[in-house]
Each structure stands twice: as C-alpha cells, then as structure tokens.
Structure 1
C-alpha cells in the first residue's frame, strides 16, 4: 500500500522481509528512546539483526502472524506486528503493536499500518485484535476507537516512566462482529 503525506513524501507499507532485519534492529532502540509511550526505554531488550530475521521468518510461516514495515526513500521508518498464539483456544485472536520514528508521526503512517493489519486480520478470519496503550496516549486511543476498538480493562500503575511516575495502561480490543453467531 502506498501513502502520501501532506509534505508529499511517499511511503510504502509492505510485508517485512529478512533483508529488513539490520534496519529494524537499528531503528527499534531509536523509537524506544523517542517516546514514553513504548514498553521499553532506549537500549532495553535489544533485538539483533539475527533476532529480527528469526521473527520475520516465523511470522512468514505462521498463519496468525503479520509483520509490516513502512518505508520512504528506501528506508524503513516504522513497523507493526500482529502476533497470534499457537494454542487452539487462542488462535482466533492476535495482539497488535506499532513503532514509528518520531520524525514521521502525523503523516498517517501509523493509521495505514493499523488499517493494513485489520484488513489482513479480517481476511484471515481473525475474530479479535487486542493491544495495550498508555492511558495518557490520547491521540492513539482516539485512533483505535475510530477503528472499533473498545477499552476492555485498565491496568493501574502498570508502567513506571523514566521520571519515576506511574501510569495506567488500557487493554483495548476489536471484535469482528460480522463473525458473531446469530442469537
């Protein structure tokens, strides 16, 4: 999928490939350090290029996994993943997450990664997509609500930010209601 922002920059959303692993390994810690909205601080839980290659290969081989990248001018600027469970009782749902370099915020890239992921989930007959989001991330919450996500729970004081303050995390979910059985 192609996206053009208000500054006429052209973005492409596509499935991740093993050759993307070095760039993903480079930008993930940068993204982590640019915002308090991510789970990690910069430098935590580093994934090497080999680690990303393994994730990409697993996602390519697993029907309820999806790994997308967003690129402009041949450079990856963000990515998203949907990760499902191998357990039969949980195989109907996936967890969605997204990362985007701050310089590219506000250009509709996160929205397009979400849209592509939801279209894929619907095509794969994934009944439920879940995510977690910092309760203070009002812009993201509003976006998720526009796509049918509802708050299913609140994890109180779930994250401690670098300034030492505690913040709640929302658990949100979107159920594909067209697949609900009658009655």
Structure 2
C-alpha cells in the first residue's frame, strides 16, 4: 500500500517520510547493512541476511501491491536514512495482523524519525482495519520499549536469552503487541 509523503522539521533537521519506491532499492540495500553495523538492537550484524537491490525492489513491489503491507522510508535531502515495514500474512487466520520493524541511521537519532515512522504506520494500520501490530525489541533498547508503549503496545512475552551480543552475553527479546481496541 502507498501513503503520501509528509514533511517534518525536528530540531533543525528537515526530512520526509513517504512510501518506498523501486528507485530507493539500491540505497536501501546499502543503508540496511550500515544500520545493522551501527547498533546491536537489530537482529543481524552488518552483511548478514543480505538483501541486494533486486531483493529490495521485490519487497517494495509486494508491499505496494498488498493491502496488509506498508513500506515507508525517511529521507534527508531525498536520500533514505531510515525505513519501516509492516508485513502482513496471506493466511486467512493471520491476515488481520502485521509485523512491524523500524531502523534509522544512528547519526539521525534524536529527531523523532523512528517515532514518526511508527506513528504513520499505526495510523495506516488503524485506517485499514489491521487488528494487531506485533514486534520484537531487544531488552536493552529502553528508548524503543518506551516509544512502543507510548503508541499503545503492551508486553506479550519474553524470548529468554534470544540474542548473543558482542559482549559475549545473551539478552532477551521483548515481544510486544498493539491491539487498538485495548489501547
């Protein structure tokens, strides 16, 4: 599904959020590797689970075509610096919900880009009859957890010792869900 672009200016940074376009694919492929290497909040290390330009084009086409998918990009000077996805299921028993994920290049943290990607996605979900949004967040990502709670997410469970990080320790993944009627 596609959304119209919206412009923001937060703490002196001008940026735009809009639906992903096929022409974004090459930059998104590089951006994902960069972001994966900047923080341990992501599931992957830099270069793991690599998606190339063609993979991103396929995702963007599918997400544009499907009613229960949404792929948004945040751009500074027309260059993607972050993105979010809501991915629904084609299975009837799970078609009412989507999985949400978001990432923003670290040098742009603090400008509410993640918050605005999340807000746009939740507004889309509510307007399109999505009954539940699910996500997983690393236990150490306190800012992320608070952001999700601010948007009506509740903790639904914990995956114990789910991720092995660079310090050699295992960390939990917090499973959160948002059901609009229970906000």
* Match runs of 1:80-91 below 5 Å: 80-91=84-95
Query: Displacement of 1:74 after TM fit?
Result: 1.2
Asked whether 1:132 is paired with 2:133, we answer: no
C-alpha separation in 2, matches of 1:9 and 1:34? 20
C-alpha separation in 2, matches of 1:36 and 1:156? 17
C-alpha separation in 2, matches of 1:31 and 1:150? 26
**Number of aligned pairs?**
178
For the residue of structure 1 that corresponds to 2:33, the secondary structure is: helix
TM-score (norm 1): 0.95
C-alpha separation in 1, matches of 2:78 and 2:151? 29
TM-score (norm 2): 0.95
2:9 pairs, out of 1, 4, 10, with 4
C-alpha separation in 2, matches of 1:168 and 1:9? 34
Query: Displacement of 1:122 after TM fit?
Result: 0.6
For the residue of structure 2 that corresponds to 1:145, the secondary structure is: helix
Query: Displacement of 1:164 after TM fit?
Result: 1.7
For the residue of structure 1 that corresponds to 2:159, the secondary structure is: strand
Structure 1 stretches of 4+ moved >2 Å: none
Unaligned runs of 5+ in 1: 179-183
Unaligned runs of 5+ in 2: 1-5
Query: Displacement of 1:2 after TM fit?
Result: 1.4
Superposed CA RMSD? 1.1
1:109 pairs, out of 103, 106, 113, with 113
Asked whether 1:95 is paired with 2:114, we answer: no
